[in-house]
Amino acid sequence: SGLNMDSLSIHCSWMVLLIVLSVGLPFVDADAVAWNYNRNSLGGPDKWSVKYPDCGGVMQSPISISTEDALYDPKLSYFNLTNYNMTSGVKMTLVNKGGHTAEVVYSGSDVLLSGGNLPDTYKLEQFHFHWGGKDSNGSEHLIDGKYFPMELHLVHYSSHLPNISVAQNHPFGLAVLGFLFQVSDKNNTKFDQLLQYFDLIETV
């Protein structure tokens, strides 16, 4: 039946921050292929490279993070977030992407991401969500083999490139911040305005 996003109370009780950089591989039109994130499926991540050789690298999603193997790098610096708290002059448009996800396209003054050992300054283009049909299984990425109910991606492109279409074909042209969500019994009213549009999403 899928997850009813209108009735689901979500808050970010803790977040894990990921940086995913494009490596110059072309994007594939999600609406034109029969792929999915189900690891037990014939169209799952392990099979993507059979039909799409560009997906056979080691820098694509989904990423499974092992906390046992992860090493702290003291050379990593903090991120610099510019205009992330801006509320005036901002326009956000919800886009139903093929009936299977929600993407919000941003327009307004530049919202910038830098630091964090990124090679450039990046401009916010859009944000979108990944969720599943069960409260425990919806995120794109995993931690210690565990999926999370939902994942938010803030997609940025290099400020030295004209647009995201050009940037996605450049090494390190994109920077994506990923946030993993937990389900809570406590309602977060900050999501209400956005969630009212989620009934338009036909499948997840």
pLDDT digits (tens, 9 = 90+) for 73-129: 999 999 999 998 877 777 777 776 655 567 788 888 899 999 999 999 999 999 888
pLDDT at position 113: 97
Higher confidence at residue 7 or residue 93?
A: 93
Mean pLDDT in residue range 150-174: 94
CB atoms within 10 A of CB 182: 15
Catalytic: which of 11, 100, 128, 160? 100
pLDDT at 60 > cutoff 80: no
Q: Which two tokens stand for residue 95?
A: 């886009």
Q: Which amino acid is at 90?
A: V
Q: Are 168 and 129 in contact (CB under 8 A)?
A: no
- CA-based nearest residue to 133, from 64, 203, 191: 203
pLDDT band at 2 (very low <50, low <70, confident <90, very high): very low
Residue pair 120/160 in contact (Cβ under 8 Å)? The answer is yes
Work out the average pLDDT over 137-161. 91
Residue 156 pairs in a beta bridge with 124, 175
Domain 10-25+73-200 sits in CATH at 3.10.200.10
Q: Where do the domains of the chain lie?
A: 10-25+73-200
Question: How many CB atoms lie under 10 A from the CB of residue 138?
Answer: 22
User: Catalytic annotation on 100?
Assistant: yes
Of the candidates 155, 150, 128, the one whose C-alpha atom is nearest the C-alpha of residue 139 is 150
